[in-house]
Amino acid sequence: MFRMDKPSPLGKGYVQVYTGNGKGKSTAAFGLAFRAMGQKLRTYIGQFIKGQHCSELEAARMAYPYITIEQYGKNHFVQAGKPSQEDLQLAREGIERAKAAMLSNKYDIVILDEFITAYSLGLVSLKEVLEVTNCKPEGLELVLTGRQAPPELIGLADLVTEMVEVKHYYQKGILAREGIEH
């Protein structure tokens, strides 16, 4: 854990973006949290547009106090461009909780899972995405995931990975499987 009176164990923290239409953005971010746990680093994960039980919640509970996870959504799909007032409010609350985690000095890494997707669905504005990114403390690693990262965020990030779908069994009617996709 880093403190104001001591340098961050990471030295300088960077902004990472995992985007694209392929599978694996959240999985890559969770893998980073797991790797960091091996170095006794603490990670906060805030999940936008998610409010249902999923395997990563159980995994994070097992990894506590090294990994803390919170969800900022409801258990339903958000229609692009037509979010409900409740979904907008949950996203605003999520931004505030994410900022508080970033500025708390409790975490070495903050992952905002599906934050970029929240932007593409109209739950958060580009201004809010850039504001959250720009308030990152120097020694904190910030990871943002989701489809359709805006060019402004890509320009601001230090590392950008685009996941490209080549083939997916979902196209054959195979639904999300426990422990693999869900």
Q: Is residue 180 part of a domain?
A: no
pLDDT grade, residue 1 (50/70/90)? very low
3 in a structural domain: no
Work out whether the CA dihedral 73, 76, 77, 80 comes out positive or negative: negative
Closest CA to 136 of 57, 51, 25, 44: 44
Residues in the chain, how many?
182
Tell me whether strands 141-145 and 109-113 are parallel, antiparallel or unpaired.
parallel
Does 181 fall in a domain?
no
Q: Which tens digits make up the pLDDT trace of 91-126? A: 999 999 999 999 999 999 999 999 999 999 999 999
- Please provide the average confidence, as pLDDT, over all residues in the chain: 90
Does the residue 41 lie in any domain? yes
* Three-class HEC string of 118-139: HHHCCCCCHHHHHHHHHCCCCC
Say if residue 52's pLDDT is above 80: no
Task: Give residue 121's domain range.
Answer: 15-172
Q: In 98-121, which positions are buried (b, 16+ CB within 10 angstroms) versus exposed (e)? A: bbebbeebbbbbbbbbbbbbbbbb
Question: Per-residue confidence at 141, pLDDT binned at 50, 70, 90?
Answer: very high
Residue at 154 is within a domain: yes
pLDDT of residue 51: 63
Q: In the beta sheet, which residues pair with residue 43?
A: 67, 109
Q: Establish if 30 belongs to a structural domain.
A: yes
In a domain, 2, yes or no: no
Q: Is the pLDDT of residue 160 over 70?
A: yes
Domain count, the chain: 1
CATH code of residue 26: 3.40.50.300
Q: Rounded to two decimals, what is the model's pTM?
A: 0.90
Q: Note the pLDDT tens digit of each residue in 71-86.
A: 998 776 777 778 889 9
